[in-house]
Structure 1
Amino acid sequence: MRSLERAIDVLEVLEATRTPLRLSEVARRAGLHVATTQRILNALEARGRVEQDGSGYRTGVAMLFGAHAYLATNRLAATAPMILQQLAAATGLTASVFVRAGSSRAVIARVEGSDPLRYVLPIGERLPLHLGAGKVIAAYMDPEELDSVLGGIDEFTRADGTRVSLEDFRRELEEIRQRGWVASHDERVVGASSVGAPLINADGEFLAAIQVAGQTTNPAFTDPTPLGHEVRQAASALASRVG
């Protein structure tokens, strides 16, 4: 079991970086001895989970097979595109579904609208929980677990330079729970706005966050209330399909 945990630690190190890493750096970030790390990398490389060249180690093409299997077998990921297509058509905005992945969130389904964003957000991209649709996920987390994820920070800065205290952030999470949706402007990317809502099943269990996003200059974001209702309806429709 310990060997499996160490292999996962190594894979998580490689998944978290956008550039290849040298052996010594992989070992340092994984908290493992260099020799142990080398053995793990060799085994993973033999199975296509890791690749290497002159610049270092990176995740291998075989990791795509696991991602594809998740998208094909996960009921939420498989069902979401149809609802997102309807939402994107109704609003003209890019519609997405995000799920929590530890201290981050990941997009598992996405449909572009007629007013596309000016940046590409690949399926599986890790994003923070304190910005945009991430706040919807944070709002429904256990308070103690949220404290652990936040890591004791007192404040953070959004993309537009706005500084947000932890107290203000917690107040916003309470507003999300009460209102059922949240509008975000220029938080993660300057020039982009979004409206997100929770996906909650019939048992009251939080499953994911659903969002529409577009350019901040889009008139729909001037008064996001209608978008909030639209996204909530889409969330209810998707929840009824996944159970």
Structure 2
Amino acid sequence: MSSGSSTLAKGLDLLRLMGQYPSGAPAAVFAKDSGLPFSTAYRLLNSLVASGFAEFDAATKQYRPGLVIFELSSKVASVRGYDGTILPVLQRLSETTNESCLFAVRDGLDTVTVHTVDGPEFRQTTDPGDRLPLHVSAMGKAILAGLPPHEADELIEQLTFAPRTAHTVSDAAALQRQIAHGREVGYLYQSEEVDLGMNAIGTPVVGSDGKVLGAVVIAAPLFRATKTGLVQHREALDVAAYQLAIALTTIQPRG
């Protein structure tokens, strides 16, 4: 790798890391989390500021994502039809279930949350742009369940199974059993694997061509709804997945 491409890769890694601190963090935090020398992180952060990808608050000495990131993400969401098709479906699902609802897509070995709608009484704990390993969440497991078994197994073999909580599934065999069961019953369930006190059910969103477009999820605190309560919303979840599949496969890219 040339020095130029290496520098670009480090800058992009810092930009992705910045997404974990939407309200901002000092250069020392980015240096520590990225493993870069402070001088290198400081130089790259200021390059991101100069290009508009980051902002620097002189009062707090913190760096945060810049408006260019918002502009790019908005354009991508608009072109892919996410804004106009996903949010209305999630809103209807939330109104029907009185719970929080999410839609996520796969990026490599992770899920990336695209849109969320909070329930009327409790806010869910995942935000748009959040990234989670496939094995952790109901949405990741749902995406795996929607894939052909051999494709899902190939992805599972690459997972490191880093735990998010003490309840996170910890090995490939256990995850494969969960996915096999999910394929049988039509939904995937997780309890306190992402955040303590929260559980969720999800199902894959699959296009007419069989392509997995993402996953739709209903999430709730355990004191409000356990697995039994969430499963009561299976029909509404299936309807939402069907509506999303139709909408996302009929979107025409804008010229």
**Common fold by TM > 0.5:** yes
Q: 2:122 aligns with which of 117, 120, 131?
A: 117
Could you list the per-position Cα deviations for residues 64-95 of structure 1 after superposition, in whole angstroms to 9, with x for gaps in the alignment?
21222222222244311121122112211112
Alignment-mate amino acid for residue 194 of structure 1:
A
Q: Distance in 1 between matches of 2:75 and 2:17?
A: 22
224 and 10 in structure 1: CA distance in 2 versus 1, 3 angstrom threshold: closer
Question: Percent sequence identity over matched residues?
Answer: 23
Between 202-211 and 116-125, the greater mean CA deviation after superposition: 116-125
Matches within 5 A, 1:1-243: 2=5, 4-17=8-21, 20-22=25-27, 26=31, 29=34, 34=39, 40-52=44-56, 53=58, 55-114=61-120, 116-129=121-134, 130-139=136-145, 140=147, 142-148=152-158, 150-151=159-160, 153=161, 156=163, 158=165, 161-162=166-167, 164-166=169-171, 167-218=173-224, 221-222=227-228, 224-243=230-249
Q: Distance in 1 between matches of 2:207 and 2:113?
A: 19
CA contact (8 A) 2:100 2:119 kept: yes
Unaligned runs of 5+ in 1: none
Q: Distance in 1 between matches of 2:190 and 2:16?
A: 29
CA contact (8 A) 2:199 2:222 kept: yes
State the TM-score, normalizing by the size of structure 2.
0.76
77 and 173 in structure 1: CA distance in 2 versus 1, 3 angstrom threshold: farther
CA contact (8 A) 1:133 1:209 kept: yes
142 and 4 in structure 1: CA distance in 2 versus 1, 3 angstrom threshold: farther
Q: Distance in 2 between matches of 1:15 and 1:157?
A: 18
Q: Distance in 2 between matches of 1:122 and 1:207?
A: 19
Q: Distance in 2 between matches of 1:165 and 1:42?
A: 39
Paired positions, count: 236
CA contact (8 A) 1:13 1:26 kept: no
CA contact (8 A) 1:117 1:213 kept: no
39 and 189 in structure 1: CA distance in 2 versus 1, 3 angstrom threshold: closer
Q: Distance in 1 between matches of 2:170 and 2:9?
A: 36
Shift of 1:224: 4.0
Shift of 1:108: 1.5
